[in-house]
Structure 1
Amino acid sequence: MHEYGRIMPAVKAANPRAVFAADDWRAIATLSRWRGIWLVLHAWMVVALAAFGGAAAWDYHWLTGLLATPLVLAILGGRQLGLSILMHDGAHGLLHPNRKTNNWLGQWPTGAATGSDLFAYRAYHLTHHKFTQQPEDPDLSLSAPFPTSRDSLRRKFIRDLTGQTFYKQRRAQFALALRGASNTAHTVGRFLVLQAILLTISLLVWGWVPFVLWLAALATSFQLFLRIRNIAEHACTPTGSGDPFTHARTTYAGLIARFTVAPYWVNYHSEHHLFMGVPCYHLAATHRLLGTGGYHPKMTLSPNYRDVLTQAVN
């Protein structure tokens, strides 16, 4: 795509050596051999506790089950988003220093959980980094519609929470697979295999309810949290200038946000775009170092996700 007949240039990246002391950069850019694995295990432990806790609430009494379900779906949707975030780190080669281990972690226990393919996502996502908010950016459609009307945003949220977004996306994905698109067929296959594993565990341990809760979250709260996360990252920012500090937004996240829309430090998105070789577990430290260096005034920072959504409506 072009603007005024010209191919848009790739956006500039920040030079870490011009921003950080050598020891500081080494500390935040070094990959751990265990932290990525631990985060994947952590996500699945939270999923298990939420799903089986929700089942216990239903077993105790239908009213306790009914009252607990919104909380359970929120926790499950947040961890499903967390698995997507960890798959994203795998796409950058940041889950583990061993490439084969990194790719397996990004393909099976994280990517397959929500129906994503690590390698297809990697090609797509690195193009997003290269042309952030330029016409060539494949993610431009996620931020370009904003700001929008309050009614439009409400309709989007309703589609997410009623499963319409999930159904539309899965229908398109499964249709491609049935038409013989091999990459998509493999992605759908991994998704179905992992769902079968989860269903088997659910039936062996507690019956249908934990798996039903998992699927319900995947179709509802996960879609909503994913949308809010996408809005927060680039919508209504001054992205597009030659200054790499304007390419994304960082949003401060409290405890509830970290359990839902901002798992595993994904809220530090400006830092990620500035230095995409930094693993998610070092992004908070990166943010602190940038503050110490006096770079925060150059960045797009929001105090919370409510503020982001306020900016996203006309």
Structure 2
Amino acid sequence: MKFAVSREQQQFSESLHDLLGGADTAGVARAWAQGRHEAGLKLWRGLADLGVPALLVSEADGGLEASCVDMVVAFETLGYHAVPGPIVETAVVAPTAVSGEWPARLASGEILATVLTPLALDADVAYLCLALRDGGVHEVRNPKLKRVSSIDPARRLFHVDGSHAQVPGDGAKAFDLGVLAVAAQLLGAGQWLLDTATTYATQRQQYGKPIGQYQAIKHLLADVVTHLELARPLVHGAAVAAQDGSPTLARDASAAKVKAGDAAYLAARTALQVHGAIGYTAEHDLGLRLTKVRALLGAWGTAAFHRDRVLGCLVEAR
């Protein structure tokens, strides 16, 4: 099967790039890390106007009823720009997991949601808190929050205590789509790191010529291109499996997360190596992606968890 992003999906991605490219998402992320949410919430309302939180919500609930491939295209772009906040939980997991009044409120951008995995991302700004257990969905009521540290300051994590009430919903599919959305974010972050390192390599000069003209740098960047291009079909293929209701979704989503994570991690290490000492400075935007990638590698399941999951699915299928 030959997979290609449609012209409509390309245009949607371009619209997101236009919005986010002019929004100083690096500044938004730094403010979000300090607990100043105003700019991030304003950015989220802009994304809601473009339909991001409405993608997986049915038309009956005011959503777009778009495909999972559309979602992956969107989250690759969101990952590219390092948009902060519980965007996976709000736009992907919660709309899949819950029904009733919630999908319409999520689709409009009125509220944010978070999910215990087991920590809750940005629970201090989320109106709805969910827990996924044994394929079921629980709403966490009267939550009590305790902030914990995160390797990515823009990912504000919380322990959440509260009463749990089971609600109708498909927790298993919601989990797999959350994994897939994070894989798409990793793919986007990896692409940003590659683009930024490539640009820097054409500008930084050593011994009278750009460092990008040296074979060693070319080989480093070429390896990143190869790994990203091998990861992309797995991510998009898992999106097709999700859209088709394939029984292989768990395997495909986990495989996509592992490969996208490996590719993004290689991109992060390479970008840091190409930039040298400047890449370590807090002022350079490279640091935002380095910590983001490192945090996303463990979000919604570590690589070890997903490798075991892939193996288990393959053994079951024999």
TM-score w.r.t. length of structure 2: 0.29
TM-score w.r.t. length of structure 1: 0.29
In proportion to residue count, which structure has more strand?
Answer: 2
In proportion to residue count, which structure has more helix?
Answer: 1
